[in-house]
Structure 1
């Protein structure tokens, strides 16, 4: 159980927050220094968000080494809950229906990433 929690909180959610901050900076630079359309950047953000959540769920389950669906689901749920909490506190708005579908997609991506991550092959010291 300790490995599961450590995988979810330490590796999964931590890597998601770091990757989201990095990719947000990249998108901000693209928006500032190129003449890409807003719609294109919006689609890039959607694809990046889903990919990053899947990676975070996969990393959490890989490090947790058990119950990939639970690791991925918890990782996605913690991240989405944090996003909703920030929106309610700082923007004083509740979640809209399009956002709800986006958050659902993020949860599913993390959940599937967890199922993949728990089944990834492990390195062992005996294979040297």
Structure 2
């Protein structure tokens, strides 16, 4: 008796939002793990708290690359596009959460730069994911 997969992408062409959403969730899971490890490192060692902004950016970039890689690995085509969209989703969700949880958050021009950077980093992860 063969078990059927819950989701079958028959064409493997174009944009696949199922894998993009799943990749974005995996990216956030990786971010959570990394932030827990960094928090433990800050608590148990004498690391300066001044490095936190740099670590946050590195964790975001790594998470977006992994999300783009995962999406492209599962879609097998247009990895740069699928990975880039996953990167944009990651940043959009981050912006929405910031809007609700940070009282002094405002929509400004640097957010467009973050969206573009999210697309580029996700596209790089997608290119790597398709070619490996």
Regarding TM over 0.5, the answer is yes
Aligned with 1:118: secondary structure? helix
- Out of 5, 8, 14, the position equivalent to 2:25 is 14
- Out of 122, 128, 131, the position equivalent to 1:110 is 122
Instruction: Measure, in 1, the Cα distance between the counterparts of 2:114 and 2:39.
Output: 20
Report Cα offsets for 1:39-86 as digits up to 9, x if no partner. 334323322221221111011111111111211111011111001001
Instruction: Measure, in 2, the Cα distance between the counterparts of 1:96 and 1:27.
Output: 28
Give me the TM-score of the superposition, normalised by structure 1: 0.79
1:44 matches 2:55: yes
Say whether the 8 Å CA contact 1:16–1:56 is kept in structure 2.
yes
Instruction: Measure, in 2, the Cα distance between the counterparts of 1:49 and 1:113.
Output: 13
Instruction: Measure, in 2, the Cα distance between the counterparts of 1:48 and 1:91.
Output: 20
Aligned with 2:96: secondary structure? helix
Instruction: Measure, in 2, the Cα distance between the counterparts of 1:17 and 1:52.
Output: 7
1:49-128 map, 5 Å = 49-92=60-103, 93-95=105-107, 101-120=113-132
Q: Specify which structure has the higher proportion of helix.
A: 1
Q: Which runs of 5+ in 1 are unaligned?
A: 121-128
* Count of aligned pairs between the two proteins: 119
